[in-house]
Chain A
């Protein structure tokens, strides 16, 4: 199928629209989750949605998306409360509390799923699609449910932006200002649960955590400002959603959820590697050029020192002498300095090795290097 045909396909359009909605919402809310060091809470919330889906089905008596999502939201929030209770009231650490809530809620979900499947006629419920998501099963009417959820979540975030920002970066200060920190905490977590619920049909409970974490981490590499991180995360989430949905539609048999997650992982890997300031590659290049700058300065300084010591402006220093003065081999540095016209090699006497002399341009370069302070070591 070519791209134009894909774009015209009804199912594909629905999936792409759903993936975009999900990407934007989880990108924005994931930003808060990641900055609040709650990356893995999303994982717990997503797994914890499973029993709620089954309960929603059992209560509604049919596969009605609003009922399933309401159930999912309720059980996800219950899991978040369990995590909070365990962290606050027992000696279990956050990671254990998250793993505990995640696996126990999921176990109950597995039990309920098998119960649902055991009932007559419920085999068609297709609740297992929520494990990995099944994008093709999304209906236009489902899209409306998703759109309403996304709109509620995004509107809440923009209405409470200042408050959420403060609670995220400086909860103590927020409390001192009289903000209801605990309420805002719960509200943010509940909104993350909304984003999780939004993704259940598309990517499923298992991969949903990546939808929250990856866009935020990718966006964080490019900018320091919260608003920009959130917007960029939304864009990256949406782009990954579109890429995943399109590839999946073009190559039949490849599940949409994993493809979206892989697209996201690719965006994240590229951002971690190449983002201009925080990227690992630019940082390594910066460190290397700083190291070379230091070497240049050391060699030029040594030439200058020796020249002064001998009271001879045209003094040519021997290579071994330079190595000893600088403290490490200088051959490579000397050759690059020569190419840049800062030093020249001089044939002294036949039986002696190469000698090197500082040129006027080198003198100027040295004083420039000495004026500029050592660029500080790269810091994240």
Chain B
């Protein structure tokens, strides 16, 4: 296994494991739980180390993950007292626990394997330093842990897919079905904590948040089906690890930062060019709606003045500027579009509705009248 492959695989597994839980956190409006959990596990790691001397292994995983869940639990409990808004409760809880963790690190920094900067940034570039032999191949510790966590997350999501889906989109229905959405939500937070602990050495606290939220948000801006969001999020996570690694090594900058920022590149693409929810698609949709409205306005204007004494004055291009207060250019565009649509005929300056344009205007002014007149429909 080359070093590059080890690093990219670690990043990809962090991304897949995090986005599996992150998608549900996102859809449940609990994205920032990952932020709180990511910070709080630092205290958990230090406390477990102080109590048992373990710096890694299942005990560390369990202890630190408990700290993560406890943070969310404390924040929720604070919110329930109704003395503090929910967001403020999160903002109170995790900085306090994180500050305590950092201070303890401060005091015992010489003895424990993590220092404050690693906590924030991780050291994905060095995952190949600590390895265990598996079938004769030296595999990084982090990779082993992350593989296990990814498989656990995958098993959880596939086993309880229906329950999670209903619990996410319709908690009341889930309760009615007896799905225990509270227990599932708790399990989700526990898995988020475990994932955070497993990812911690590689990417640190804040970049873990990026892997949890950004790929899921990217999927959410592209598709609607939950299963597709999950698949897309995982794909974005894997692609980000590859892209981030290549770009970061080429520019000789932080690899973890590069991978996290790469998720942002994919998000930006989805935000700009997403087929339904992208900004460009929104703009085009708004524009075509506006165009259609202007065509209708012209049709109604012509319809109302057709055959009246002032038709000669109103149903000319110039009147659009003076009476509808359209600019020269806009009037020209609307006329051109209406001609293309076959709604009007043009004779020099004079404009007249075609049959189709008349029908459209009538439908706007007297909705349903055409259908009532000709019940057979045409």
Q: Measuring CB to CB, which residues of chain A are less than 8 angstroms from any residue of chain B?
A: 34, 37-40, 42-43, 47, 86, 89-93, 95-96, 98-100, 102-104, 106-115, 118, 128, 131-132, 206-207, 209-210, 212-214, 216-217, 221, 253-255, 257-259, 261-262, 265, 268, 272, 278, 280, 380
- Which 8 pairs across A and B sit closest by C-beta, in order of nearness? A110-B257, A210-B95, A107-B260, A103-B210, A258-B99, A114-B254, A213-B91, A265-B96
- Asked if B290 CB lies within 8 Å of chain A CBs, one says no
Is B206 in contact with A103, judged by CB distance below 8 angstroms? yes
Query: Does B267 have its Cβ within 8 Å of any Cβ on chain A?
Result: yes
Considering the complex, which residues of chain B in the window 284-338 have a beta carbon less than 8 Å from any beta carbon of chain A?
Answer: none
A112 — which chain B residues lie within 8 A by C-beta? 253
Contact of A96 among B217, B256, B279 (CB under 8 A): B217
- Contact at B253–A111, with CB atoms within 8 Å? yes
Q: Check: B9 CB closer than 8 A to any chain A CB.
A: no
Task: Give the shortest distance, in Å, between B369 (CB) and chain A (any CB).
Answer: 38
- Apart from A114-B257, A258-B106, A278-B83: 6 A-B pairs, beta carbons within 8 A: A34-B88, A95-B31, A107-B264, A108-B264, A210-B95, A212-B91
Residues in B with CB closer than 8 Å to A42 are 91
- With a cutoff of 8 Å between Cβ atoms, the chain B residues found around residue A47 in the complex are 206
The listed residue (B100, B116, B260) touching A262 by CB distance below 8 A is B100
A255 contacts B31, C-beta separation under 8 Å: no
Distance in angstroms from B19 CB to nearest chain A CB is 13
Looking at A103, A213, A253, A259, which has the most chain B CB atoms within 10 Å of its CB? A103
- Are B92 and A253 closer than 8 Å at their CB atoms? no
Instruction: Determine whether the beta carbon of B87 is less than 8 Å from that of A92.
Output: no
The docked-state distance in angstroms from the alpha carbon of A92 to that of B267 is 12
Q: Do B103 and A255 touch (CB < 8 A)?
A: yes
Q: Is B258 located at the chain interface by the 8 A CB criterion? A: yes
Whether B206 and A102, one on each chain, are in contact in the complex, defined by CB atoms closer than 8 angstroms, is: yes
- 8 Å CB contacts to A: which residues of B132-164? none
Does chain A have a CB within 8 A of B117?
yes
CB distance from B232 to the nearest CB of A (A): 15
In the assembled complex, the Cα of A36 lies from the Cα of B116 at a distance in Å of 32
Q: List B contacts of A111 (CB < 8 A).
A: 248, 251, 253-254, 257-258, 261
Question: Is A39's CB under 8 angstroms from B91's CB?
Answer: yes
Contacts of B282 in A (CB 8 A): 89
**Chain A residues whose C-beta falls within 8 Å of the C-beta of B210 in the assembled complex:** 103-104, 106-107
Give which listed residue, A34, A100, A209, A280, contacts B85 with CB less than 8 A.
Answer: A34
Whether A265 and B35, one on each chain, are in contact in the complex, defined by CB atoms closer than 8 angstroms, is no
CA distance in complex: A89, B271 (Å): 10
Q: Which of A114, A207, A278 touches B99 (beta carbons < 8 Å)?
A: A207
Verify A100–B213 contact, CB threshold 8 A: yes
Question: In the complex, what's the smallest C-beta–C-beta distance from A320 to chain B, in angstroms?
Answer: 40
Q: Shortest CB–CB separation between residue B163 and chain A, in angstroms? A: 22
Q: Is residue B12 contacting chain A, with contact meaning CB distance below 8 A?
A: no
Residues of B within 8 A of A259 (CB): 99, 103
Docked pose: A328 CA to B251 CA in angstroms: 77
Are A104 and B117 in contact (CB-based, < 8 A)?
Answer: no
A103 touches B213 (CB 8 A): yes
What is the total of A-B residue contacts with beta carbons within 8 Å? 194
A214 touching B92 by the CB < 8 A rule? Answer: yes
A sample of 5 cross-chain residue pairs with beta-carbon separation below 8 angstroms, ordered by A number, consists of: A90-B271, A107-B258, A207-B102, A268-B92, A272-B83
Whole-angstrom distance from the CB of B328 to the nearest CB of chain A?
31
Q: Write the nearest CB–CB distance from B251 to chain A, whole angstroms.
A: 7
**In the bound complex, CA of A214 to CA of B88 (Å):** 8
Give the distance in Å from the alpha carbon of A318 to the alpha carbon of B59 in the complex. Answer: 61
Asked if A110 and B117 sit within 8 Å, CB to CB, the answer is no
Interface size on B, residues (CB 8 A): 60
A213 near B88 with CB under 8 A, answer: yes
Residue of A93, A98, A104, A221 near B264 (CB, 8 A) is: A104
Proximity bits, B14-51, A CB within 8 Å = 1, else 0: 00000000000010011110110001000000000000
Alpha-carbon gap, A92 to B29, bound state (A): 9
Q: Are A96 and B31 in contact (CB under 8 A)?
A: yes
Q: Among the interface residues B205, B213, B256, which one has the most CB atoms of the partner chain A within 10 A?
A: B213
Q: Does B250 contact A (CB under 8 A)?
A: no
Judge if B121 is at the interface, Cβ distance under 8 Å. Answer: yes
Q: A39-B91, A107-B207, A214-B92 are in contact. Are A131 and B35 (CB under 8 A)?
A: no
| Chain B residue at minimum C-beta to C-beta distance from A106 | B206
B207's nearest neighbour on chain A, judged by CB, is A107
Q: Which residue of B lies closest to A43 (CB)?
A: B91
- Assembly CA distance A207 to B35 (angstroms): 12
Q: Which residues from chain A contact B91 at a C-beta distance below 8 Å? A: 39-40, 42-43, 209-210, 212-214
Bound: A280/B202 CA distance, A: 41
Q: How far is the CB of B362 from chain A (nearest CB, A)?
A: 37
Question: Do B82 and A380 touch (CB < 8 A)?
Answer: yes
Report whether A102 and B209 are in contact in the complex, using a CB–CB cutoff of 8 Å.
Answer: yes
Instruction: Name, among B32, B81, B117, the residue most crowded by chain A CB atoms within 10 Å (CB to CB).
Output: B32
Binary flags per residue of B251-289, CB closer than 8 Å to A gives 1, else 0: 111101110110110010001000001010010000000
Flag B238-256 by CB within 8 Å of A: 1 or 0 each.
Answer: 0000000000100111101
- Collect the chain B residues with CB atoms within 8 Å of residue A254's CB: 103, 106-107
Given A89-B279, A99-B35, A108 contacting B88 (CB threshold 8 A)? no
Quick check: B81 and A280 within 8 Å, CB to CB? yes
Establish whether residues A91 and B220, one from each chain, have CB atoms under 8 Å apart when the complex forms.
yes
B67: A residues at CB distance < 8 A: none
Is the Cβ of B99 less than 8 Å from the Cβ of A261?
Answer: yes
B277 and A102 contact, CB distance less than 8 A: no
Task: Report the minimal beta-carbon distance from A263 to chain B, rounded to whole angstroms.
Answer: 10
A residues less than 8 Å from B221 (CB atoms): 90-92
With a cutoff of 8 Å between Cβ atoms, the chain B residues found around residue A39 in the complex are 85, 87-88, 90-91
Cβ-defined contact, B214 with A43, below 8 A: no
B343 at the binding interface (Cβ < 8 Å) = no
- Which of A108, A257, A280 is in CB contact (< 8 Å) with B257? A108
> How far apart are the CA atoms of A98 and B39 in the complex, in Å?
16
Q: Which residues of B contact A114 (CB under 8 A)?
A: 253-254, 257
Point out the residue from A86, A93, A110, A265 that lies within 8 Å of B256, measured CB to CB: A110
Q: How far is the CB of A323 from chain B (nearest CB, A)?
A: 35
User: B96, A110: Cβ atoms under 8 Å?
Assistant: no
Chain A min CB distance to B77 (Å):
11
Q: Give the complex CA separation of A118 and B255 in angstroms.
A: 13
Q: A280 to B264: give the CA distance in the assembly, Å.
A: 43
* B120 at the A interface (CB under 8 A): yes
Interface presence of B84 (CB below 8 A): yes
With beta carbons under 8 angstroms apart, the residue of B31, B121, B253 that contacts A118 is B253
Complex Cα distance, B208 from A102, in Å, reads 11
The answer to whether B99 and A265 have CB atoms under 8 Å apart is yes
Within 8 A of A (CB), among B39-83: 39, 78, 81-83
Q: Which of A106, A110, A207 lies in contact with B95, CB distance below 8 A?
A: A207
Contacts of B248 in A (CB 8 A): 111
